[in-house]
């Protein structure tokens, strides 16, 4: 159900919520001298001081609210949920709807002199955060989302000091009620409503502008990402066309080589028979080696001409052939190789299977290219599954890894996660399955990736 957790974001969210729970200890009405300002307004009949006291209260309430609202948003964004019926959306709603009311309840219970009123502004803000979380603005920085929340929190806080909303469940905190009572006493309700509405509208406009910026920037970056993916797919198709054309040409060339090799095999066989009659053992031995080499070349040509052709080969021979194919690459210096069953046989098309292994190794190289201590391990062992022996080939890297939600997609032709990962993995799966084997991929972000290939062991 849980696909993954963004640990840093989760930790930041928890810390912010905890900060919101203890902040009332340090930020009080005395910090901003709100009572002194309101008392001065009463004794001197000064409406300006009333408005200043109201704005100071809005600032205090906003600063207190920022941490737990933003923290709840971070926590809801940090956990990825996979499933039907849009579980991720409902999970975010539940998380935010639990955390924010809990903080209000905790503060009312923990601090005797502080009365946090959970009213319409709080409910409206929760709905806004849920709305932001419901949209996948994945390409926009978190700071812009935070700015959006900050602007709207500040905007909604002005509702608490507006006498206009007296009949609604808004502004029922002790100090908010005090501000509105003083406004009634000084006959300043109209001025307080106008000033509060002005600042509420101003911050709402700022918030709306940030929202439009986030929406447009995310749409633009999404379009750019789609263009990159399309370009990648086009280049993949072009490369595939070139590869297919080259492969056809190679097959034609190899087919032409088959005839002289067949003639050479026949001639060597005739010479061996002739020498055998003359008891020339040394010469027969040499010709046997030549015949073996020709047979080996003939088998390789057969494998190239027909991908479905399979021959028995030892694990040691297969891996040595694979390593020889990458010996000139920089990746060869980062490979540690452990073969615990060098004499065990498997039945594969050595040419195509080697290409498949090279593809996996190249993907591992891409995963570790930006890591100073990057390494690749190739481990070959034997396992028993339901009384049947299998050869297990594991290619392990300590690279960047990929998200669990993308693991099934990496087998799709042309799929890419970080510009190159996924290249050739569809071919790997197809090749392994042609050899009646299975291939698995396990990966963790910032830990690494393991590709495991299982093939039946065959008798020599």
List the structure tokens of 31.
């910090």
pTM assigned to the model = 0.53
Sorted by sequence, the CB contacts under 8 Å of residue 24 that are 6+ apart come out as: 64, 107, 111, 114
Lowest-confidence region among 166-175, 192-201, 248-257: 248-257
CA 46 to centroid of chain Cα atoms = 58
Percent of the chain residues topping a pLDDT of 70: 76
Q: What is the pLDDT of residues 420-458, one digit of tens each?
A: 444 468 888 888 998 999 999 998 888 889 999 999 999
Work out the average pLDDT over 358-385. Answer: 87
Sorted by sequence, the CB contacts under 8 Å of residue 161 that are 6+ apart come out as: 54, 57, 58, 171, 176, 179, 180, 192, 196
pLDDT of residue 382: 94
Is the domain 310-460 a CATH 3.30.565.10 member?
yes
Q: What is the pLDDT of residues 41-50, one digit of tens each?
A: 899 989 899 9
Sorted by sequence, the CB contacts under 8 Å of residue 450 that are 6+ apart come out as: 394, 395, 396, 397, 441, 442, 443
Q: What is the pLDDT of residues 138-163, one digit of tens each?
A: 667 778 888 888 898 888 889 888 88
Residue 293 has pLDDT above 70, yes or no: no
Every domain of the chain and the residues it spans: 2-225, 310-460
């Amino acid at each position: 159900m849980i696909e993954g957790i963004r640990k840093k974001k989760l930790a930041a969210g928890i810390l912010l919520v905890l900060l919101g729970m203890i902040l009332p200890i340090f930020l009080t009405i005395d910090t901003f001298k709100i009572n002194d300002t309101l008392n001065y307004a009463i004794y001197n009949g000064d409406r300006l001081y009333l408005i200043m006291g109201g704005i100071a209260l809005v600032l205090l309430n906003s600063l207190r609210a920022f941490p737990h609202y933003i923290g709840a948003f971070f926590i809801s964004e940090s956990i990825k949920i996979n499933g039907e019926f849009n579980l991720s959306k409902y999970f975010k709603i539940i998380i935010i709807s639990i955390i924010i009311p809990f903080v209000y309840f905790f503060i009312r219970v923990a601090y005797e002199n502080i009365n946090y009123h959970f009213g319409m502004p709080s409910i409206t803000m929760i709905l806004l955060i849920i709305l932001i979380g419901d949209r996948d603005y994945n390409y926009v920085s978190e700071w812009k989302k935070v700015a959006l929340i900050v602007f709207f929190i500040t905007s909604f806080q002005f509702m608490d000091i507006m006498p206009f909303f007296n009949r609604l469940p808004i502004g029922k905190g002790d100090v908010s009620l005090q501000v509105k009572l003083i406004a009634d006493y000084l006959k300043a309700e109209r001025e307080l409503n106008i000033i509060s509405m002005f600042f509420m509208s101003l911050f709402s406009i700022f918030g709306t502008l940030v929202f439009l910026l986030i929406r447009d920037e995310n749409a633009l970056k999404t379009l750019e990402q789609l263009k990159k993916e399309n370009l990648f797919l086009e280049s993949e198709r072009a490369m595939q066309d070139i590869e297919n054309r080259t492969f056809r040409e190679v097959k034609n060339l190899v087919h032409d080589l088959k005839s002289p090799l067949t003639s050479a095999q026949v001639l060597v066989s005739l010479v061996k028979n002739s020498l055998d009659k003359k008891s020339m053992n040394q010469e027969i031995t040499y010709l046997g080696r030549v015949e073996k080499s020709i047979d080996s070349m003939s088998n390789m040509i057969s494998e190239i001409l027909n991908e479905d052709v399979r021959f028995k080969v030892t694990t040691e021979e297969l891996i040595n052939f694979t390593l020889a194919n990458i010996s000139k690459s920089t990746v060869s210096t980062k490979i540690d190789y452990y073969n615990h069953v060098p004499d065990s046989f498997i039945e594969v098309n050595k040419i195509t299977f080697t290409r498949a292994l090279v593809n996996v190794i190249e993907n591992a190289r891409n995963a570790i290219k930006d890591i100073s201590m990057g390494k690749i391990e190739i481990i070959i062992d034997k396992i028993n599954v339901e009384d049947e022996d299998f050869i297990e080939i594991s290619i392990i890297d300590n690279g960047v890894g990929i998200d669990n939600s993308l693991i099934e997609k990496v087998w799709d032709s042309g799929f890419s996660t970080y510009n190159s990962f996924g290249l050739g993995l569809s071919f790997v799966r197809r090749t392994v399955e042609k050899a009646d084997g299975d291939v698995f991929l396990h990966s963790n972000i910032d830990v690494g990736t393991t590709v495991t290939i299982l093939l039946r062991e065959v008798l020599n």
